[in-house]
Chains A and B, each alone.
Chain A
Amino acid sequence: MAYSEKVLDHYENPRNVGTFDKDDSSVGTGMVGAPACGDVMKLQLKVSDKGVIEDAKFKTYGCGSAIASSSLVTEWVKGKSIDEALEIKNTDIAEELALPPVKIHCSVLAEDAIKAAIEDYKGKQK
């Protein structure tokens, strides 16, 4: 299967790979997995007092599409409020990266990682 140029670009030059301290109260960590292919994705968001995502980092073990999807969302969420970030849909990701149907689940993984990270962040603010 041929990857699109955008997938290759993110795969070869992944943006924002790394880790924040998961115990930091301004950091939300989202962990999701795809059992069928054994992919694991971690997305971390650093949120300001005003609820704006200042920075994002990811670490993904999976195929090129999974890596590209998570790399892309770290770029997209930066500067967004958490509510805006929640509006990112997997279909947006799949379209941007021109993912073939068999790889749509990678974009689902990335969308769910955003949600899980925000849920984790909100849980810490209580």
Chain B
Amino acid sequence: MLSDLTKNYFELFSLDASFDLDLDDLESRFRKLQKEFHPDRFVSVSEQERRIAMQLTAHINEAYQTLIKPLSRGSYMLKLNDINVNDESDTKMDASFLMEQMELREQLDEMKNNNDQEEKIQELTLTIKSGQVKRINELQKCFKTVTDESLIHARNLIRELQFFEKMATQLEELDDDFL
């Protein structure tokens, strides 16, 4: 049981490290592990074993939350390859990408100041969605045959995805405000 704590997230679910996951399969593996290490089953064991079971439950939850979403799954796979996605001293990104992001933020700002934006919100939501889908498909290719180059490309894609993620959150908040 103790050794499970040091397993990486894929190993924990007895999966090969792959970006292309069957999410239903992941969920059933998660439920099974959750049951297996549920604190209720460790009532009559030593204090130490109980503590390990609790840590393991947290580890399993974290593993599931990380692997279920493409963005965090991709970041985690890069981490396994010793690549840091969010090095704070690395602020360089494709200038045209950043310009595009700025324009999207400007559109969002305009929406905040106007009513009757339902159509525009939908339009922007679609733009963001397609930006995300495009990059997630690219990531799939990057992780299929891993090379130094494909990992660098994957890192860029994940960095870009984080901007879309932020936009999507802000857009959701805006949408909620209107409701």
Contact = CB atoms under 8 A, between A and B. Distances in A.
A36 B92 contact: no
A112 B98 CA distance: 14
A35 B95 contact: no
Contacts of B92: 32, 112, 116
Contacts, number: 58
A40 interface: yes
Interface of B is mostly: helix
Interface residues of A, number: 20
A36 B88 contact: yes
Interface stretch (B46-54, B110-118, B141-149, B162-170): B162-170
B133 interface: no
Interface of A is mostly: mixed
Given A40-B98, A105-B88, A109-B91, A35 B159 contact: yes
B98 A61 contact: no
Interface stretch (B22-30, B59-67, B99-107): B99-107
B93 interface: yes
Contacts of A59: 102
A32 B163 contact: no
Nearest to B105: A61
A35 B71 CA distance: 12
Contact of A112 (B91, B159, B163): B91
B162 A36 contact: yes
A72 interface: no
B81 interface: no
Contacts of A2: none
Contact of A108 (B91, B93, B101): B91
Given A33-B93, A59-B102, A38 B165 contact: yes
A94 interface: no
A116 B99 CA distance: 14
Given A36-B86, A109-B91, A112-B92, A31 B98 contact: yes
A34 B98 contact: no
A31 B88 contact: no
Given A38-B163, A40-B98, A40-B105, A33 B91 contact: yes
Interface in A68-126: 104-105, 108-109, 112-113, 116
B85 interface: yes
A108 B86 CA distance: 13
Across the A-B interface, the 8 shortest Cβ-Cβ residue pairs: A38-B166, A35-B159, A105-B88, A36-B86, A32-B91, A31-B98, A35-B162, A112-B91
Given A40-B102, A59-B102, 14 more contacts: A29-B95, A31-B102, A33-B101, A34-B91, A35-B160, A35-B163, A38-B162, A38-B165, A40-B101, A40-B105, A42-B102, A61-B102, A61-B105, A108-B88
Interface of A: 29, 31-38, 40, 42, 59, 61, 104-105, 108-109, 112-113, 116
